[in-house]
Structure 1
Amino acid sequence: MSNSVVLGLGGLPGTLDQRLQAIRDAGFDAVEVDATDMARSSFSIAESVSHIRSSGLRVAALKELRDFTGHVGHVMTYRMELAKTSLSMLADMGGKLIIVNPSASNKTTHVSELVDQLRALATLAMKRGIRVGYRPLPWSDHAYDFASAWRLIEQAGNRNLGLVVDSFQNLTDLDITTVFQQVPAEKVFLVRLSDFKMSALHVLEDKIEVDHHQRFFPGAGNLSGDLAELVRQCQQNGYEGDLVLSVNDESYRMAGLDSAIKSALRARNWLDKITTGA
């Protein structure tokens, strides 16, 4: 397949070095780095960055700059300072994309302020050669789906700012396979693929729990058909970015690193069959 299949570091068991080695040995050439996972590592942030940089694996994305858009005053100033730190860390790793999430509760009533915040971040990132991928969250009141996030991105008008498509959105009564009818393929900066054991979520607390703790490899849940269609839409519409295998279910950590990598390889083979029509 033409899109590179990327494995997320954060959902795998083992030390950082063990995971990097296993991912490389399995034939993956890139990883999505989890900032929270790095903060919990026995290594310092600087040591973790060094290990990732020397692993030979490309950093496809850093996830994630959380709770960013929607704040005002000193809180927004603080969020921007955190953003500068994250961008510096990502630049040191050689990465080129940072994932950014909206806040749950919008503290401003002016859409123009949200747009200005995204534009300012994208401009700041551009100076480091980094792109900004905006990932909507169902529990945000201003960027809760692809359409609402895209409206803000479009108004910001910065070529360095684009959309992150996450299959998690399909659990919130949205059809992820129509995203390319709303957004130009070149403005989709990343596609994240996770499977789930349920078919829909309606309660806020359940949405947050599943997003944070119950992501499975594609092909291992109940949304395999939707995921397959999303991948086909990526192909048909000319999406050229990465496909991230994003997992975080405790079962993978309990099973051990070797087992988790085997599951990742099954998911990659599953994707290969979809893209080749086998």
Structure 2
Amino acid sequence: MHRSIATVSLSGTLRQKLEAISAAGFDGFELFEADFVNFRGGAAELGRIASDLGLSIDLYQPFRDFEGMPEAQFRRSLERAERKFDLMEAMGAPLMLCCSNTSPLAIDGPARAAAQLHELAERAARRKLRVGFEALAWGRFTSLYGQAWNIVRQADHPNLGLILDSFHTLSLKDDPVGIAAIPGDKIFFLQMADAPLLSMDVLQWARHHRSFPGQGDLDVIGFFEQVLRAGYTGPLSLEIFNDLFRETPNRRTAVDAMRSLLYLESEAQRRLASTADTPARAQPVELFSPPPVPALSGLSFIEFAADEASARTLGMLLEQLGFHRVGRHRSKAVELYRQGEINLIVNAQPDSFARSRFEAHGTSVCALGVRCADPLAAVDRATAMRSQRHDSPVGPNELRVPAIVAPGGNLIHFVSEALGTNGLYEADFILEEDAAADASGAGLTQIDHVALGLALDQLDTWVLFTRAVLGLEPGESLELADPFGLIRSRGVANADRSVRLVLNVSLSQRTRTARTLSVTGGGAVHHIALRCEDIFESVERLRAAGTRFVPISDNYYDDLATRIDLDPALLARMRTAGVLFDRSPAGDYLHIYTENIEGGLFFELAQRTAGYDAYGALNAPARMASQAQE
């Protein structure tokens, strides 16, 4: 499919935007008029630049406040259109976007709008150009795609067609099913945009909070499916108005943009293939078809990067948490610690990728290992979705574990399920004689979830990455109160919840999360939650071993008793232990946090009961407030 993006979606000068668009592999772009107005060059020069970069200029936009106007204003607008046609001819743009009128001078009446658009299309046809009419969600009289299609049909001109935008339809909760009945050749252009669900004026929502498909909450896949059912064969484009994207480095944004279109195409193709009533014209274009989403079955290991001194300190802390050092790598300064099914790797190898990427940030998590059925297919999907493959050096008889680079530089290794519980570690480590024995330690059994602290402009990137590459689905977005600002938090997980990540960004520069980011360089694991079966027994053992936990105010427990009907004995036990509590209709969650280690990293102990499926987010303010009072 011909893939395009609007220049308004990226930061930078017009030339910088086009270079980023080309580098990301797009075929063309929509030229936003303001970008050209401020370009220090002419239309013909822009056409040459685009051609040199291998890009087509697919659309010139927007042409505003045209249809349904009084005669005098209509005539002036025709002359205005002629000047735009001059530019389009010079630069080689074949299509102009005319958006529905928002002017207070506009006159209601589809017949008048159709007649005036017919005249505009006639003038475009004399120059072998076309006009697309789009319904703005805040259009004065035309806000729905069905209204716009009715006007285009009445205008009845071969050079006038419909332009569809997913945001304008889905933000108004208009049903896109009717799109499938529109002739595909009368849909001249398709713009896609996702968005988080927000309660605000649609104009402000549209101009500041759109996102790429797969980053928001709208059913963009269902919308695209209906356009394909119509038989559409034109460009698939992105038009994203987002304040953060205007600040983010445009090369990174362009890669996210391409990944979003590939994800959109692959998901739409999957839906069409699984639908028995798909008409023959539903897929007249070839859609992107990557390897399937990997079937992940849990976290195999977490790897820390540390210098020699930090590695010793971390090792002592892990032993204090009940872990046992069970092996040393055959060829590197890397040690393996284990408790239950949890494997933690401490990498102090001076010339490793982990050390070179993270050594300036103290002790940091540098890699995650995830179990899956087909690691090579998982990497193939990731690279197809524009992630970078990583090949670590291996010694004799050591296993090569396929890996990719996640946003921000961490590695994700795909560990074959065929290796079983211990196959990877038997191959790569010299294990202690009792390494295979069950080391219960403090009763910690498995990794519950991993929480990342991200720069504000990385949240959408990570949501899309985990969705498109790893097949995780995002949960509800929450805002949590730190004493010095707000933290936005969103969990992502696979269907069976064997892999869970929590993505956190700070809306303030003064929160603990923000300060940790300044130390780690922006984007890192800030805490690891470890599952246990009896949190009180585990806490008792760990306190006896010297583990220090974040103290929780007595006021928290007094308030908890007023909010939740709890057994007084359980409440007293939680108060004594410093354990926090959350309840959902499906089950309970008991958890406690350790104090920080180097680099701001800390651990959480968690006990889930029944079907509890969240992360105790309501208790995060108690933890952050306590940490702020240290």
* Structure 1 and Structure 2 fold alike (TM over 0.5): yes
Q: 1:56 aligns with which of 33, 54, 57?
A: 54
Find the counterpart in structure 1 of residue 24 from structure 2.
Answer: 26
In structure 2, do the counterparts of structure 1 residues 23 and 174 end up closer, same or farther at CA, with 3 Å as the change threshold? Answer: same
Shift of 1:77: 1.8
Aligned-residue Cα RMSD (Å) equals 2.1
CA–CA distance in structure 2, aligned partners of residues 107 and 17 of structure 1: 36
**Counterpart of 2:63 in 1: which secondary structure?**
strand
Shift of 1:274: 1.6
Read off the aligned partner of 1:133 and give its amino acid letter: G
For residues 62-103 of structure 1, the C-alpha deviation after alignment (integer angstroms, 9 at most, x for no partner) is 111011112113222221111111122112121211110121
Find the counterpart in structure 1 of residue 217 from structure 2.
Answer: 222
Does 251-260 or 101-110 show the bigger shift?
Answer: 101-110
CA contact (8 A) 2:98 2:133 kept: yes
Q: How does 1:181-220 map to 2 (within 5 A)?
A: 181=181, 183-198=182-197, 206-220=201-215
Find the counterpart in structure 1 of residue 170 from structure 2.
Answer: 170
Read off the aligned partner of 2:214 and give its amino acid letter: G
Find the counterpart in structure 2 of residue 88 from structure 1.
Answer: 86
For residues 130-177 of structure 1, the C-alpha deviation after alignment (integer angstroms, 9 at most, x for no partner) is 111100123323322112111111111111111111111211120224
Q: 2:245 aligns with which of 243, 252, 261?
A: 252
Find the counterpart in structure 2 of residue 115 from structure 1.
Answer: 114
For residues 110-129 of structure 1, the C-alpha deviation after alignment (integer angstroms, 9 at most, x for no partner) is 54322221000000111111
CA contact (8 A) 2:5 2:28 kept: yes
CA–CA distance in structure 2, aligned partners of residues 106 and 174 of structure 1: 26
CA–CA distance in structure 1, aligned partners of residues 47 and 206 of structure 2: 26
**Counterpart of 2:30 in 1: which secondary structure?**
strand
CA–CA distance in structure 2, aligned partners of residues 40 and 209 of structure 1: 24
Read off the aligned partner of 2:58 and give its amino acid letter: A
CA–CA distance in structure 1, aligned partners of residues 248 and 56 of structure 2: 26
Q: How does 1:38-77 map to 2 (within 5 A)?
A: 38-43=36-41, 47-52=45-50, 54-77=52-75
CA–CA distance in structure 2, aligned partners of residues 210 and 21 of structure 1: 28
Q: 2:229 aligns with which of 229, 233, 236?
A: 236
Larger radius of gyration: 2
In structure 2, do the counterparts of structure 1 residues 151 and 265 end up closer, same or farther at CA, with 3 Å as the change threshold? Answer: closer
TM-score, normalised to structure 1, is: 0.88
CA contact (8 A) 1:137 1:144 kept: yes
1:79 maps to 2:77:
yes
CA contact (8 A) 2:46 2:91 kept: no
CA contact (8 A) 1:252 1:259 kept: no
CA–CA distance in structure 1, aligned partners of residues 266 and 64 of structure 2: 34
Read off the aligned partner of 2:237 and give its amino acid letter: V
Q: 1:97 aligns with which of 95, 102, 105?
A: 95
CA contact (8 A) 2:137 2:144 kept: yes
Read off the aligned partner of 1:22 and give its amino acid letter: A
CA–CA distance in structure 2, aligned partners of residues 166 and 129 of structure 1: 24
CA contact (8 A) 2:176 2:226 kept: no
> Which has the bigger relative contact order, CA under 8 A and spacing at least 6?
1
In structure 2, do the counterparts of structure 1 residues 87 and 53 end up closer, same or farther at CA, with 3 Å as the change threshold? Answer: farther
Q: Normalized per residue, which structure has more helix?
A: 1
Structure 1's unaligned 5+ residue stretches are none
In structure 2, do the counterparts of structure 1 residues 235 and 110 end up closer, same or farther at CA, with 3 Å as the change threshold? Answer: closer
Structure 2's unaligned 5+ residue stretches are 271-291, 293-630
CA–CA distance in structure 2, aligned partners of residues 11 and 141 of structure 1: 25
Find the counterpart in structure 2 of residue 179 from structure 1.
Answer: 179
In structure 2, do the counterparts of structure 1 residues 111 and 194 end up closer, same or farther at CA, with 3 Å as the change threshold? Answer: closer
Aligned length: 269
**Counterpart of 1:255 in 2: which secondary structure?**
coil
1:137 maps to 2:123:
no
CA–CA distance in structure 1, aligned partners of residues 111 and 246 of structure 2: 43
